[in-house]
């Protein structure tokens, strides 16, 4: 809209202003880690009821398909880096259960570099491109990383994984996944056991060697993305079995390592992995940004029957992920974006905030109240509500050197 044939452009051209404003704000901050990813929709089915160990509803009915969205990713590189970098891969699964969203946010390697979340910023700063020249991209073998690792003896286990062929998968479809941390299962009798999660690809675990990775990166940096997309489009649906290692509370200290240490594994010959269900990916996203880019995972998204342990790295993640989504997605209402939205109804006293999407029609947003009949109120465990496991704690506050 112009004043005459040659302008100037009129301020009242709201279509122009809206279009340019949208374009100016199209990019959101990329993830600090796991920036480059690919995702797909699918479903999960448990093989048999797991009520002996957990009351989680999605782990009970073998005939029920729980919808999921899975995001695979590299860790160190930016969104524009190659799929074939030598790197850890993220393997994050969002279950849309009848009891709410459950996120199993893991990696393709069963251990981690550090034991305490306070060192996570240091790890990432060291492994990212060096600050003076922004080199190298999506690579872990460089001076600042080796410097950091040389001073962190607990990282040796993870380094052996990263420098092995496991760090260059042949395909996302041929990659294992691990929850890394030790979690808890809790059953209806409030009996807890420790659990570690495993994803076992039905195609087996396959990798490429370094020279192959270099050639593929030069020819097709989207190799893993393309492989996942094309196989799903052709009906060759990727599948994994969910495995668990279960340790009873009485056996917590029966190992020669700390069960809660994320730099350690429980050897499968000591505690076998029991395969309890299958994950199938059968639908590609319709829009990469709206789904794969906006999906927000968080280890704190849990359902009744699953709970945390005192692993310090896990405890730090329970803060970090929410804080990150506030920065990336710009709102405390990020959970209302369609790809993040729970299929189970959500009732609480949260209102307003940037980009609020739920339209609440009740008159009360506080507790206790009488005007709203006391609603919404905290659901008790007997009514299907979530309650934290009443773990016994008997310790003195201590500060550990970082």
Residues forming the active site: 34, 107
Burial category of 255 from C-beta neighbours within 10 Å (exposed 0-12, middle 13-18, buried 19 and up): middle
Please give the structure tokens belonging to residue 183: 């979690």
CA distance 151 to 245: 31
Check if the beta carbon of residue 127 is closer than 8 Å to that of residue 149: no
CA distance 360 to 225: 40
CA pseudo-torsion sign 85, 177, 328, 224:
positive
Cα 247 to Cα 85, 190, 214, 251, 391, distances in angstroms: 35, 16, 42, 6, 16
Hey, is 239 helix, strand or coil? strand
With a CB cutoff of 8 Å and minimum separation 6, the contacts of 19 are none
CA distance 120 to 189: 37
CA distance 121 to 336: 28
Check if the beta carbon of residue 53 is closer than 8 Å to that of residue 185: yes
Please give the structure tokens belonging to residue 176: 């294992």
**Which of the 8 DSSP states describes residue 276?**
E
Check if the beta carbon of residue 93 is closer than 8 Å to that of residue 108: no
Cα 210 to Cα 20, 138, 270, 289, distances in angstroms: 44, 14, 33, 31
Note the Cα 117 to chain centre separation in Å: 16
Please give the structure tokens belonging to residue 34: 């796991």
CA distance 60 to 96: 15
With a CB cutoff of 8 Å and minimum separation 6, the contacts of 385 are 304, 378, 379
CA distance 44 to 21: 40
Check if the beta carbon of residue 169 is closer than 8 Å to that of residue 107: no
């Amino acid at each position: 809209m112009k004043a005459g044939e040659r302008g100037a452009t009129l301020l009242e051209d709201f279509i122009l202003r809206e279009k340019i404003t949208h374009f100016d704000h199209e990019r959101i901050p990329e993830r600090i880690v796991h920036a480059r990813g690919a995702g797909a929709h699918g479903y999960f089915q448990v093989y048999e009821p797991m009520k002996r160990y957990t009351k989680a509803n999605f782990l009970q009915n073998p005939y029920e398909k729980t919808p999921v969205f899975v995001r695979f990713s590299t860790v160190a590189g930016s969104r524009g880096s190659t799929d074939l970098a030598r790197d850890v891969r993220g393997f994050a699964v969002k279950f849309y259960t009848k009891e709410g969203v459950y996120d199993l946010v893991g990696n393709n390697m069963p251990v981690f570099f550090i034991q305490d979340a306070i060192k996570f910023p240091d790890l990432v700063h060291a492994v990212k491109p060096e600050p003076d020249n922004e080199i190298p991209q999506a690579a872990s073998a460089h001076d600042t990383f080796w410097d950091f690792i040389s001073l962190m003896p607990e990282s040796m286990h993870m380094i052996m994984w990263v420098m092995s062929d496991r760090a260059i998968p042949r395909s996302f479809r041929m990659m294992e996944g691990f929850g890394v941390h030790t979690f808890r299962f809790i059953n209806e009798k409030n009996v807890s056991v420790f659990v570690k999660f495993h994803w076992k690809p039905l195609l087996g675990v396959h990798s490429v060697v370094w020279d192959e990775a270099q050639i593929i990166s030069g020819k097709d940096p989207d190799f893993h993305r393309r492989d996942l997309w094309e196989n799903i489009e052709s009906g060759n649906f990727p599948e994994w079995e969910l495995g668990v290692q279960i340790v009873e509370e009485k056996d917590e200290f029966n190992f020669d390592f700390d069960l809660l240490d994320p730099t350690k594994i429980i050897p499968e010959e000591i505690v076998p992995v029991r395969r309890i269900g299958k994950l199938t990916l059968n639908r590609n996203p319709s829009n990469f940004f709206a789904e794969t880019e906006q999906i927000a995972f968080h280890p704190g998204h849990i359902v009744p029957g699953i709970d945390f342990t005192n692993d310090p790295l896990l405890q730090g993640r329970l803060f970090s992920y929410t804080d990150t989504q506030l920065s990336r997605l710009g709102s405390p209402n990020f959970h209302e974006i369609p790809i993040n939205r729970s299929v189970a109804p959500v009732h609480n006293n949260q209102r307003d905030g940037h980009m609020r999407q739920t339209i609440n029609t009740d008159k009360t947003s506080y507790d206790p109240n009488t005007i709203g009949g006391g609603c919404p109120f905290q659901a008790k465990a007997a009514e299907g509500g979530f309650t934290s496991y009443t773990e016994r704690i008997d310790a003195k506050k201590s500060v550990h050197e970082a």
